Chains A and B, each alone.
Chain A
Amino acid sequence: MHHFTATKMSSSMKMADQIDANPRLLLMLQHFNIDFRVSDLTVSQLCKQYDISEALFVDIANLYNGFGTKKDQAYTKKDLLQVIDFLKNSHHYYRSDMYPQINSYILMLQKNHPEREIKLLEKFFNEYFTEVLEHLDYEDNVAFPYFIKLLKDSREDSAREQFSSIEYSEHHTDIELKLHDLKNLLLKYVNIESDLDLRRKLFFALYELEYDLFVHSLIEETILIPSGVNIEKKENA
């Protein structure tokens, strides 16, 4: 049986041991485009092999390990571009893996239980899924391109004027809130007869998604946005 024994990661630790202590780090590796076969490499060696800064990798890993971000991070532009790639990969995982998977469980549940209550649950999820897709599309099509321009281009780019990190942060919403509702409804209130296998799979998927979304929002709000604000300040000074 697995016990959650994650401790704060440092770059001299072996990556395989770290995954053993917190398997959620596998998702992080995937979002970084790092293969799961990490051999006997230390975190530091792994970062070198994939050309990712150790500081960034360790900071994000520690978010997954349940620790907060440091206040005074100094990420390079290259780091931040990698963060955006990471976030985009996460979006892909939500859009084409997690949400469809959860959707299929709910559809199966509805097939097995024709009660109108379950039908409502499906409707609830579909509405939520639509909202999430809007959020992801907005970030992929508006927010991230802005940050990429900010990180790559010189200050004369006028196309950037219509948007800012602050504007993004003001519109940034928690997309995991309704997921929380769904989990609570299933856990506390909605009465479904048996079907434990299916419901367990649904729960595990919900928990997996919820955790990753939680860290994802933290990365956007405590790494991407403050860094963007800093760059804007410097350029306008």
Chain B
Amino acid sequence: MLNSPLHIVILESSKIIFEGLYSILYQSDIHCRVYRVENIDELSDMLKTENINIIIANPMHFVNRDKEIKKIKKEFPSLSIVGIDFGIMQKAVTETNAAFTLYDTPEHIIHLISRMDSRNKSLSKNNDDNDNLTKREIEVLTCIVNGKLNKEIAEELNISIHTVVRHRKNITTKTGIRSQSGLTIYAISKKIVEIEDIEI
């Protein structure tokens, strides 16, 4: 595991910015491979062929491409997106897991990116065992979050209401969360459901 490099793709049309980030990354302790794409379409293609871990993106490229971004996030849930914050766009904050500005120190940027790395590892580990929720419990949880009643959950998953109640009890025991709205926040934090799917 230690030796597998981090695959980082930089989505940025400015060659100056790309070269700068590229040299910062290669001079750091991060063991990585860096790719470059110039737009969302190239990024989508890249994600299909390479096993990318982190995207560093100029959020300018996200403008009016919400559908594509949502799709990418859904298809590659363990991807981390780091935004380059030009201080002008809200998107840098909302669509990304972290952001830095071009005036941040290389140390800061490296720190940020290596944190994304460990985050990925713990996330993919968590995907196997969300506080040891079983696959079935995760399905029940998803239904709860979507506001379904026990009866509806039973019908959808083809199990008895009694079994649904048992699953709910186990979910509460394992997570320590009892209320429906609390479980919703839990499911979002654990990336079991997409926050975009939840109405606020």
The residues of A with any CB-CB pair to B shorter than 8 Å are 114-117, 119-121, 123-124, 127, 177-178, 180-182, 184-185, 188-191
Contact = CB atoms under 8 A, between A and B. Distances in A.
Given A181-B178, A185-B186, A185-B189, 17 more contacts: A114-B93, A116-B198, A117-B185, A117-B189, A117-B195, A120-B184, A120-B200, A123-B181, A177-B178, A178-B178, A181-B179, A182-B182, A184-B177, A184-B182, A185-B182, A189-B186, A190-B189
A120 B177 contact: no
Nearest to A122: B200
Contacts of A191: 189
A27 to B, nearest CB: 25
A116 to B, nearest CB: 5
A124 B180 CA distance: 10
Contact of B178 (A120, A124, A180, A188): A180
Contacts, number: 59
B185 A121 contact: yes
A117 to B, nearest CB: 6
A123 B93 CA distance: 21
B80 to A, nearest CB: 12
Contacts of B188: 117, 120
B169 interface: no
Given A114-B93, A120-B185, A185 B200 contact: no
A193 B42 CA distance: 32
A195 B53 CA distance: 28
Interface in B118-165: none
The 7 A-B pairs at the shortest CB distance, nearest first, are namely A181-B182, A189-B189, A184-B176, A124-B181, A181-B177, A116-B195, A190-B189
Contacts of B195: 116-117, 120
A190 B188 CA distance: 9
B190 interface: yes
Interface residues of B, number: 18
B26 to A, nearest CB: 27
A178 B176 contact: no
30 contacts: A114-B93, A115-B93, A115-B94, A116-B94, A116-B195, A117-B185, A120-B184, A120-B188, A120-B195, A120-B198, A123-B181, A124-B179, A124-B185, A127-B181, A177-B179, A178-B178, A178-B182, A180-B176, A181-B176, A181-B177, A181-B179, A181-B182, A182-B182, A184-B175, A188-B176, A189-B175, A189-B189, A189-B190, A190-B185, A190-B189
B104 to A, nearest CB: 15
A120 B200 CA distance: 7
Contact of B179 (A178, A189, A190): A178
B200 A124 contact: no
Nearest to B195: A116
Nearest to B183: A181
B182 A124 contact: yes
Contacts of B93: 114-115
B61 to A, nearest CB: 21
A224 to B, nearest CB: 25
Contacts of B182: 124, 178, 181-182, 184-185
A113 B179 CA distance: 24
Contact of A119 (B175, B179, B181, B200): B200
